[in-house]
A and B are shown apart, each in its own frame.
Chain A
Amino acid sequence: MSDMMEYTVRRLTMGVFVVLAVTALLFAIMQLMPGDPIELVASPRVSPEKIAELKRLWGLDQPTHVQYFYWLGHVLKGDFGNSITTGQKVGVLIGARLPYTLLLAGSSLLLQYIIAIPLGLWAAYKENSRFDKTVVVSSVVFWSIPTFWLGILLMLLFSIKLKLLPVSGFKGFASIILPIMTATLPSLASTLRLTRTEVLEVIKEKHVVTAYAKGLTDKKVLIFHVLRNALIPVTVMFFLSLPWLIGGSVIIESVFAWPGIGQLLWKSISSQDYPVVQGIIFIIAILTVLSNIVGDILTAYLDPRVRLEMKGEN
């Protein structure tokens, strides 16, 4: 397992570089944005001297790379700075919002895998049956639906016509149902399809015949040999799709007025609240890179052939 350790360390180091590079890039982009945050929030009556002083105070008069390292140094100490619009600490702002986004993304992720894996397995096992064809067609249809429209349709149906669920905002358990459905259905379609494709590929492999020849029952062969092997790419996808869900949260949260970081990001971008945008992007980049790394390491853990390739790389 020391190979695994080495691999993990290598991937983490690489990940740190990627996070640094992408935040630096976005930092630079922010600087190029039209408009100046200080002039935006300060009333026109504030004197130019006062603005210059404020800029010095915020470090905005420094060159971009100095500002970046200044910001980075504070971030490493846990200080993301203060919001320009509200003056609140960015860390506190994000901390209050992040759980809502993770709740939404996490439960949607779990839900889609709990549903997709058995259905995908069954569809592949019954290849070309009516059930299988329904799965294939409906999954293409579902991933062609934009989430914002799906959210609106669900809201129309469940909140406005049937009056079963609250329209938007966060008011207890019932208000999470529609956002979760909206986030889950399109990704469920692609996970289901992926599971089916992978199972179909494994089921045709020769070791499956060996498993039958050994005397294992259908159920055991399907679970311990077919599904077990097909789950390797499906697991990788599980971790790769977390960032997609967080990205999608910008839209879902703005449709349902869900108090997560997606909505916060969107608001902060519109009001050019740089420190908040920086902080959120930093967090999302870390989450993304981490879930990619976890996905890779898990593949290596699940697939001994990949472990061998890792040794070869060294």
Chain B
Amino acid sequence: MDIKSIAKQVFNNKMFLIGMIMFFSILTVAVFANQVAPHPYDTINTAQALKPPQSQYLFGTDQYGRCIFSRVVYGSRIALKVGLIVVIIESVIGVVLGLLAGYYGGWLDRFIVFVTDLTWSLPPLIMALAIVTMLGPSLNNVVIAIAVVSWAQFARVVRAKTQAIKNMPYIEAARAFGECDFSILLRYILPNILSPIMVLVTLALPQAILSTTSLGFLGLGAQRPMPDWGLILSDGISYMERAPWISVFPGVAIVLTVLGFNLVGEGLRDLLDPRLKV
């Protein structure tokens, strides 16, 4: 494919374009949060408590008079940071195990498949719940828990793709030239399965953000007064009748972020690997 036809495909894929625009908007907000947010996220001003949305407080205020808009803006940093770190960890674990299982086969393969089955024997959220409770509620522990329960998806796809190409002539040739296994895996197999991995990464990111905010909602993630979207949302429930905006706006932020990534991921799949099932 030449660059021109790729560009044409990209521009014909409206979902991908819209997703990219959403992604870059959110990224900009997160990077320039200090400039975008009119107030600090933790300034308490009880005189302004539970104010509905207005020009000074775009999304209204909570029971402590904190600006919800500013909290949501700063919250984007938590969501993106956590999502990114989770995805890096889970993809590294998944890709390494998938490569090893697919390439070597035998008992190693069977063992890795058994461990994969093990992580799928409980609903991911429940598994994550158990892990975070064990480690104690904190953002770092949420990252660990979500990575531990979601690497298996990567391992499954990478294993299948590795199995499919490990006996290709060019791999055999590399082996015949005395390339060691490590170099074959890294220089010959990995580059050839990069596109499904890229698709998986972009689709795992929104999933990670959803899981983080879910755990945040249960009070297991970032602790008060950190502006975690899930936490703001769950704290707002008690004020739902008097001040619904506290819970509504962080939700909008989650949906837009997750939707943006999902659209990019879907678009990327259409472009790179339309038959990949996730």
Contacts and interface: CB of A to CB of B under 8 A. Distances in A.
A155 B121 contact: no
Interface SS, A side: helix
Interface stretch (A108-116, A119-127, A241-249): A241-249
A149 interface: yes
B262 A281 contact: no
Given A29-B134, A153-B251, A288 B122 contact: yes
B112 interface: no
Interface in B196-255: 206, 210, 213-214, 217-218, 230, 233-234, 237, 240-241, 244, 247-248, 250-251, 254-255
Interface string B257-278: 0110011001000000000000
Given A29-B134, A269-B133, A288 B123 contact: yes
A33 B234 contact: no
B230 A148 contact: yes
Contact of B210 (A21, A34, A146, A265): A146
Contacts, number: 122
A33 B141 CA distance: 13
Interface string A151-177: 011011000100000000000000000
Contact of B262 (A19, A140, A155, A248): A140
B255 A144 contact: yes
B130 A269 contact: yes
A140 B15 contact: yes
Contact of B263 (A18, A140, A147, A156): A140
A129 to B, nearest CB: 16
A215 to B, nearest CB: 32
A14 B263 CA distance: 38
A42 interface: no
Interface residues of B, number: 41
B20 interface: no
A288 B119 CA distance: 11
A216 B126 CA distance: 48
A155 B240 contact: yes
Nearest to A140: B262
A136 B136 CA distance: 40
B118 A149 contact: no
Interface in A202-236: none
B233 A243 contact: no
A297 interface: no
Contacts of A251: 125, 214, 217-218
B94 to A, nearest CB: 19
A60 interface: no
A160 B237 CA distance: 12
Interface in B103-122: 114, 117-118, 120-122
Contacts of B213: 146
A269 B136 CA distance: 11
Given A18-B118, A145-B255, A149-B247, A26 B130 contact: yes
6 contacts: A145-B251, A148-B217, A152-B240, A160-B240, A250-B129, A251-B217
Given A148-B217, A243-B123, 7 more contacts: A22-B118, A137-B15, A140-B15, A152-B251, A244-B123, A288-B121, A292-B120
Ranked 3 nearest A-B pairs via Cβ: A247-B123, A149-B251, A144-B259
